[in-house]
Amino acid sequence: MEQWMIVVVMGALMAAGAAHGEDRVLLSAESRIQSPESLTLTFDLPELKPGEQVRLALDARLDWPGVNGSNPWFSVNINGHALSGPDLVNKPLDFMMLDGVEASWVRGSLWRTVMSQDFSDRIKTHKYAHAVPWTDPFRFVWAVTRWAKSGQNKVVIHHPSLYAKPTTLVLREIAVEHGAPIPSAAASVVTPAPTGPLPVYLVDNPHRGRGAEGVAGGRGVADGDVRPAAVLSRFPHERARGQMGGREGRIEAYRSDRRRQGRRPVARRGL
C-alpha cells in the first residue's frame, strides 16, 4: 500500500524554554496515522554549538476504546536512521505493569505504545492488570544528535499493521529541541570500585509453596511473610528479580495485599 505522507517544512526556529537556553521546533500539535501508513515531517537546524544536544519528543498512544494493554506500534526514522533503545533519554527502557509483568518500551526499532482512548492519567490510576502507574507511558524523548545535521532533516514515523483491521496511532506535541544535554534516565551507570554508591536490588522470596521456607539475611522466611533482602553489587545488571528502589517496595506491597486476600500473586515474566 502506498504510504500516506504529510510533509511539514519548518523554516524558522521558535524560541522556547528560554530558562534552559534551548530552541524548540513544534512539528505537529497532533497527527493521526492509520496502519500501515507513515507520517513524514521535516525541520531545519542551524550549525550546532559544541556540546549541544538535539532531541526529538512526542506523546503517543494507540487509539482504543477505554484503556487496554500495549504493543510495539511505531518506528521512528531520522535521516534514514532508525531510533533504537540507546536513543531514549526520558525514562528507563524497561517498565513494570501493575500485575508485576515486566516489558520494554522498544523491541528492535519498534516502540511500544499503550492502548488508550485519550492521553489522560487513567492508564496510570485505573487499577487493572496492564496499568502503568510508575512511569509516563505516553511521553518519548530521544537524543538524536548523532543522526541530525545542520540544514534540512527528515523524520518518518511508521505505524505497521499488527491486527487484521487498521488501527490508528495518535501523536501529539511532536517537537525537536536543541540545547544543553540532559542526562539519560534509560542509562544505568555504576561507579567502579573502590568509590561510588552501590545500587540496591530487592530480592523476593523464590519459594511459593505453602509452609515452604527460604533464607533471607540468615533467617528462615515462611511463605506469605516476604522479607526482601538487599543485595549489593557493583555489576551494572539492571534487573535482579525486579526493579530497584521504591517501585519494588510498591510491588511487594501489592503482592502482600494479594496474599492477605487469599489470592496468588501474579507471576512476573523472566529476569
Integer-rounded Cα radius of gyration of the chain: 22
pLDDT at site 143: 97
User: Where do the structural domains in the chain lie, given as residue ranges?
Assistant: 9-179, 200-260
Q: First and final CA of the chain: distance in angstroms?
A: 39
Q: Are 8 and 42 in contact (CB under 8 A)?
A: yes
Q: Are 124 and 19 in contact (CB under 8 A)?
A: no
Read off the pTM.
0.65
Distance between CA 61 and CA 94 in Å, rounded?
18
CATH code of the domain made up of 9-179:
2.60.120
Distance between CA 117 and CA 231 in Å, rounded?
41
The pLDDT profile of the chain, 271 residues, written as one tens digit per residue, is 434 443 333 333 333 343 345 799 999 999 999 999 999 999 999 999 999 999 999 999 999 998 888 999 999 999 999 999 999 999 999 988 888 888 999 999 999 999 999 999 888 888 878 888 888 999 999 999 999 999 999 999 999 999 999 999 999 999 999 999 998 987 655 555 555 555 544 444 343 343 333 333 333 333 333 333 333 333 333 333 333 345 555 555 555 555 555 555 554 443 3
Q: Are 159 and 116 in contact (CB under 8 A)?
A: no
Cβ neighbors of 172 (< 8 A, separation 6 or more) are 28, 29, 30, 31, 58, 59, 119
Distance between CA 47 and CA 54 in Å, rounded?
11
Question: Cα angle vertex 241, ends 107, 215, to 5°?
Answer: 170
pLDDT at site 5: 40
